Amino acid sequence: MKMKKRLLDGARLARTIRRLAIEIVERNKGTENLVITGIRSRGVPIAERIVKHIQEAEGVEVPLGILDITLYRDDLTTVAPQPLVKPSHFPCAIENKTVILIDDVLYTGRTVRAALDALIDYGRPRAIQLAALIDRGHRELPIHADFTGQVIPTDRSEVIKVKLQETDGEDEVLLMEK
Amino acid sequence: MRSQATALRSKDLLGIEQLTPEEISLILDTAEGFREVSERPIKKVPTLRGQLVINLFMEASTRTRVSFEIAEKRLSADTLNFSASGSSVEKGETLIDTAENLMAMQPDMIVIRHKHPGSPKMLADLLPASIINAGDGAHEHPTQALLDAFTIRERLGRLSGVNVSIIGDIAHSRVVRSNIHLLTKMKANVTLASPPTLMPAEIEKMGVRVVHSLDEALEGADVVMMLRIQLERQSKMTFPSLREYFNTFGLTPERLRRANGGAIVMHPGPMNRGVEISSDVADGPCSVILDQVTNGVAVRMAVLYLLAGGHLQES
């Protein structure tokens, strides 16, 4: 894969995540009953940062959940190699909470479909909202984000690579050609 | 991530002997992800929805069969249990005919236990379904060794360099053979102890140390794995009496003091209390016997999951 364009540098990426955090609190009229939930793998560090920004702005530590959707994928028997299964974790019951799902790139919507199924096996939230750092289009399911960092129109032959300090050693978003 | 392998090479799990250390680590790492599923309020994920798994148990089993069945159900597979008694096998059908008839019903996986070593391999060569060996004679019992390794890693944090002493009926045990393959591949130190009549000749060639007293085996052990005296497999008496066996090789709290501090006691079950292990040890603070059972479900879920997916081409 070769790089075509740098979509976001570290500073813009940081601002985008901070804005998502503020929008989430604003739209929900506060932090009460919120559970910020990162979808593995890169949704998790983004969710951690959102929790940190909310803490800074509101002085409240919102619970952070981690959701692994591997077991709910619809393409398991066709993909090789198998993705590694890691545990999901919630610090509290999600019953009657407002769960904000955090993902790095919203594309076909299949990851979010799997995440909704996975989430409901943990309980019945009052509402589920979706925040995506990048929305690149090409949805295959009727799913849309409630909070979007950046909308970036792409071609199917392109790949969006989100790099984060926590997982990749640096912050940037790249547009790659397959 | 500890493991480097990302998939198993084979469509089947016939034994530990064929696995690489990377594949063993992959199964154990994957099992860690599955343990959480059994702790949820809804203990079920849709991963194997629509897949048919046949449990073909041609020899008595409670723990292994139940554990496989729970693992299959938690992954949403359809399961079918087939045992020798009350089936066409009693009417004289051969294993191949039984398997081909079952295959005609298009199962995705077959879990097999059989008294003859090599039966899972025969089915694996013959059938397109994934075959999982749940114990074949005195040959291998791979998922037991994997759940033992998972339990050791969970308690002691590693396998490499751990001193594992396996004590009891070595000659008739498939568990011990799978465990020797696994533990030596993962660079643990294995010591075996049993009466000479229950120790196979030349087993040292598998890379293990052989001693003939319990105390010698316990000295410096981090893991004490007791094996069941398989009364049903003893063709001739290999020791004078059960009481004498207990006095010589039975594990008691006093004797366990020779092991290292923090040592764990394991048993693949079913236990003969008062024969190879005293109740004080089996129910004592060092015992991880029930953890082994809990971990068995997670390990079997991992195996089913990894075999159900796409396979890498063998090079």
* Cα(A57)–Cα(B178) distance, integer angstroms: 57
Ramachandran assignment for B118, one of left (phi > 0), alpha (psi -120 to 50 degrees), beta (any other): left
CB–CB contact A85 B30 (8 Å): yes
Instruction: Calculate ∠ Cα B7-B11-B16, nearest 5°.
Output: 75
- Condensed to tens digits (0 to 9), the pLDDT of residues B149-167 reads 999 999 999 999 999 999 9
Alpha-carbon span A116 to B278, nearest angstrom: 50
pLDDT given at position B233: 61
Between chain A and chain B, the number of residue pairs with CB atoms below 8 A apart is 68
Strand segments (E) across B51-157: 52-57, 78-83, 109-114, 130-136
| Closest residue of chain B to A95, computed from CA coordinates | B41
Instruction: Decide: helix, strand or coil at residue B49.
Output: coil
pLDDT digits (tens, 9 = 90+) for B264-286: 999 999 999 999 999 999 999 99
Max alpha carbon distance in chain B (Å)? 56
What residues of chain A lie within 8 A of the CB of B306, using their CB? 82
The answer to whether residues A87 and B36 touch, using CB atoms and an 8 Å cutoff, is: yes
Q: Which helix (H) or strand (E) holds B163?
A: strand B163-167
Supply the pTM of this predicted model.
Answer: 0.88
Note whether ipTM > 0.85 here: no
Taking the CA atoms of residue B243, residue B249, residue B251 and residue B255 in that order, the dihedral angle to the nearest 10 degrees is: 110
Is pLDDT above 50 for B312?
A: no
For testing the chain B interface, which of A71, A92, A110 should be mutated: the one with the most B CBs within 10 Å?
A71
Render pLDDT for A132-162 as a digit per residue (tens, 0 to 9): 999 999 999 999 999 999 999 999 999 999 9
* Statement: residue B170 has pLDDT above 50: yes
Nearest chain B residue to A83 by CA: give it.
Answer: B6
Q: What is the nearest CA distance from A72 to chain B, expressed in angstroms? A: 6
In this prediction, residues B56-82 reach a mean pLDDT of 94
Q: What is the largest CA-CA distance in chain A?
A: 46
Asked if omega into B270 is within 30° of 0 (cis), the reply is yes
Q: Is the pLDDT of residue A30 over 50?
A: yes
Q: Chain A: residue nearest B310 by CA? A: A80
Q: What is the mean pLDDT of residues B99-120?
A: 93
Confidence of residue B128 (pLDDT cuts 50, 70, 90): very high
Structure tokens given for B74: 């938690």
Q: B60 to chain A nearest CA, in Å?
A: 32
Closest A-chain CA to B41: A122
Q: What is the pLDDT of residue B313?
A: 42
Answer for the pair B252, B275: CB distance below 8 angstroms, yes or no.
no
Q: Which of A24-33, B41-50, B244-253, B254-263 has the lowest mean pLDDT?
A: B41-50
Tell me phi and psi for residue B33, to 5 degrees. -65, -30
Q: Cα–Cα distance between B166 and B168 in angstroms, integer?
A: 7
Residues of A in contact with B308 (CB under 8 A): 76-77
- For chain B, give the percent of residues with pLDDT over 70: 95
Q: Is the pLDDT reported for residue A64 higher than 90?
A: yes
Kindly indicate the confidence band of residue A73, based on its pLDDT and cuts at 50, 70 and 90.
confident
Alpha carbons within 13 A on the beta-carbon side of A135:
16
**Residues of chain A neighbouring B34 (CB-CB closer than 8 A):** 85
